[in-house]
Every structure is written in C-alpha cells, then in structure tokens.
C-alpha cells in the first residue's frame, strides 16, 4: 500500500471540513508548507477503545487532540494506524489535520448535472407535476440549444422523456406547454458538502452528513 497517497481530511480552525489532502500533502502542511513559512497545520491525535477481541470501537473516541509536528512524530504507531517508514524511524500517518489559523468556509456553486437538476426539481416533471423515476425522467432545455439555449440551471428542467421527445426543438410556448415553476440556480454550498464518503472511520466525527465509510485501513 502506498501510504503517502492515502486521503487525509482537512478541517478549518472551527473544526469544519474543508476537503482532503494526501498524507504527503498533510505532512508538508504540518511543516509549514513547501517553503516552511506558512502557518503550520496540526494533526488530530484520536484514541479509540479496543475490545477483548481486538476490535476497534471507531464510534466512541476516548481522546481527540490537535498536536503539532514535534509532538506528532514522537507518537507511537498503534495496530490500527498507518505508518510511514524512513531509514531510521516510523511515523504515524495523519488521517485528520486542522488549520488552526483558518476559520473561513469556502463555498462551491453546484454544476448543472442531470442529478443536480433532478434534485432541485424534486424528481417532478416540470410540465406535468408527475413524480418520475430516474428511468422515466430526462433533462429538457427550456429554450432549445438549437435556438440558443444554454446548459444552465436557469434553462434546464426535469421532464418526462416522452414529453421531452415531443417538445423536441421547440420552446414551451411553441409546444403548448407551461412550466409549473421557473427554473433557478441553487445557492452556493459549503465545500464540506462535496465530501460524500468517509475514507477513514475517524472522519465521520467531523462530517455530520456522512456515515458511509468507503475503506477501513488499519
């Protein structure tokens, strides 16, 4: 396993998720960045109980504490940790780091994908009001692309495939259809909402909207 490329969750100074880095990038951040002159990140030291059968209880951490590089490199490597091996030492690989001097939360504008349009419209055909399955629904360009319509939230709606086919390259007015709601662009989302999977069980303690752990590495 290439430990140095394993994902690490990154938090801001108020313990909100910002995104991910690799273990290598996380260690560089703990050392003050590439040039060593940036505010240093800290790794989260988390201790989890182990039962008599050797199973780790990831749900109930006994201890959670940010520590800097000088302390982190001296921590013992436990059975459930990943480790980085050098010629003369073994270092625990961080799984969560925090930027204590950064408290902002960047936002992202959702992309107008098929799933994003369906979600915005609640899975409802915007011409009939019928709730559609993924199989029966499709994306309709209100103003067809052949008439200058663009691939934007304001010009795309969830629509029944049959209606979309009949509407073809016409506007709703030309096709005798009426939208039940004017399409709109969703508000920007906190960047933490883009993290949909926890790549380590410790992450779920910092991601309220995520419970699925993709991979447990120990």
Helices and strands (H and E) in the chain: how many: 5, 11
Of 26-35, 118-127, 187-196, the one with minimum mean pLDDT is 187-196
Confidence at residue 211, expressed as pLDDT on a 0 to 100 scale: 65
Confidence at residue 218, expressed as pLDDT on a 0 to 100 scale: 43
Confidence at residue 217, expressed as pLDDT on a 0 to 100 scale: 46
pTM value surpassing 0.85: no
Confidence at residue 60, expressed as pLDDT on a 0 to 100 scale: 92
Confidence at residue 98, expressed as pLDDT on a 0 to 100 scale: 97
Confidence at residue 215, expressed as pLDDT on a 0 to 100 scale: 63
What digits encode the pLDDT tens for the residues 21-67?
999 999 999 999 888 888 999 999 999 999 999 899 999 999 999 99
Q: What does the CA dihedral 127, 132, 134, 140 come to, rounded to 10 degrees?
A: 0
Nearest to 159 by CA among 182, 184, 142: 142
Nearest to 66 by CA among 103, 95, 38: 95
In the chain, the domains with their CATH numbers are: 3-107+190-205 (no CATH), 114-175 (1.10.30.50)
Q: Is the pLDDT of residue 209 over 90?
A: no
Tell me the mean pLDDT in the region 59-85.
94
């Amino acid at each position: 396993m290439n430990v140095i490329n394993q994902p690490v969750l990154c938090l801001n100074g108020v313990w909100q998720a910002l995104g991910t880095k690799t273990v290598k990038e996380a260690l560089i951040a703990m050392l003050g960045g590439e040039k060593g002159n940036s505010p240093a990140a800290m790794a989260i030291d988390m201790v989890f109980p182990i039962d008599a059968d050797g199973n780790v209880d990831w749900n109930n951490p006994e201890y959670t504490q940010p520590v800097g590089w000088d302390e982190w490199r001296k921590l013992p490597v436990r059975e459930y940790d990943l480790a980085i091996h050098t010629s003369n030492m073994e270092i625990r690989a961080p799984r969560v780091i925090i930027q204590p001097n950064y408290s902002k939360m960047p936002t992202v504008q959702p992309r107008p994908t098929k799933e994003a349009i369906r979600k915005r419209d609640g899975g409802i055909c915007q011409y009939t009001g019928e709730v559609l399955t993924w199989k029966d629904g499709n994306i309709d360009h209100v103003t067809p692309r052949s008439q200058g319509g663009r691939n934007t939230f304001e010009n795309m709606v969830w629509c029944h495939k049959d209606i979309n086919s009949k509407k073809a390259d016409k506007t709703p007015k030309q096709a005798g259809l009426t939208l039940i709601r004017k399409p709109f662009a969703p508000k920007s989302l906190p960047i933490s909402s883009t993290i949909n999977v926890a790549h380590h069980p410790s992450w779920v303690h910092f991601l309220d909207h995520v419970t699925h752990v993709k991979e447990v590495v120990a």
